[in-house]
Chains A and B, each alone.
Chain A
Amino acid sequence: MTRKIIDVPYSISEADPNWTASAATTAASGDGVTEAKLGEYLCPVGLTVVILPLSTLAAYLKDNEAAPAELTDGTPVRIVHVDSAGAIVFDRIKTVYAGIKDFADANKLKRFQGRFAIEQREKLIFYVIPATGVSLNPAASRFEITGRRVSKLLSI
């Protein structure tokens, strides 16, 4: 018996069980060049996440200073797609924080440029380059990537 495909809206966020947030960087450690990893999403076995040109990315990024604050608008942000072997890496989005910081206004949400599938055991890794003298606190940051999840329906 063949199993049908199920294709439903889906979003990846910091609350996803397959998301692993990285440790916060040391206060004032940013140099404006070195990337800090916000975390990585590992696509589970049996699931394919589809990102389309309609898919959006929004984030709220916070630093790890004594008086925590939101990162500045010009902070570079990059999302990479890594194959299951960890050998091939593609940049899927490269922008600055100002372009993705609006969660509320649907017209201002950052959209992906192309369409691609994140298949099982593949990763999406979210990198940020904190400005000089600034850090990154993944645990206090938020983000959401919308897409669709495709998997096989449970057999009856």
Chain B
Amino acid sequence: MNQVDLNRLVWLAAGAGSKGVAAGLVGGIAPQTGITPDIATAFVGFWLAQQPGERIGPFGEGMLISSVGQMVRQPIEKLIGGFLKPTPAAAATPPANKTANQGSPDENVDAYLDATYQIK
């Protein structure tokens, strides 16, 4: 069993948590850039992961992992949801002779003419 490096784990978690902050900043400050916040934070995480240091590296890795996880979440949801979602029941088909201007023959002249004299 591998020994857990608690220090590294804490900084990975901090990076993953900071991803949400960074994504929020990108989405809020520069929404017009055309880059989704997840992609921006993935780049930032990738860059940070390459930096020297025992803390900043795992921090960047955590941010990168979180960003990639977020990016693949929606396609996976659609894929799995498509399999698991029950087929919606077909909407009930209205009777062919229903019209907007309805009423019982006793109260609507057109309905009365149709019912009594077959005059459409």
Contact = CB atoms under 8 A, between A and B. Distances in A.
Contacts of A48: 109, 113
Interface in B88-120: 103-107, 109, 112-113, 116-119
B107 A50 contact: no
Contacts of B116: 7
B105 A116 contact: no
Contacts of B109: 5, 48, 150-152
Interface string B25-37: 0000000000000
B101 to A, nearest CB: 13
A96 interface: no
Interface residues of B, number: 12
A3 B106 CA distance: 8
A115 B118 contact: yes
Contacts of B112: 5, 7, 150
Contacts of A28: none
Q: Which of A5, A115, A117, A152 has the most CB of B within 10 A?
A: A5
A150 B107 contact: no
Given A48-B113, A117-B113, A150-B113, A4 B118 contact: no
Nearest to A114: B119
A115 B119 contact: yes
State the 6 A-B residue pairs at the shortest beta-carbon distance, nearest first.
Answer: A2-B107, A5-B112, A117-B119, A117-B113, A4-B106, A48-B109
Given A2-B103, A5-B112, A115-B118, 7 more contacts: A2-B104, A2-B106, A2-B107, A7-B112, A117-B113, A117-B117, A150-B113
Interface of A: 2-5, 7, 48, 50, 52, 115-117, 150-152
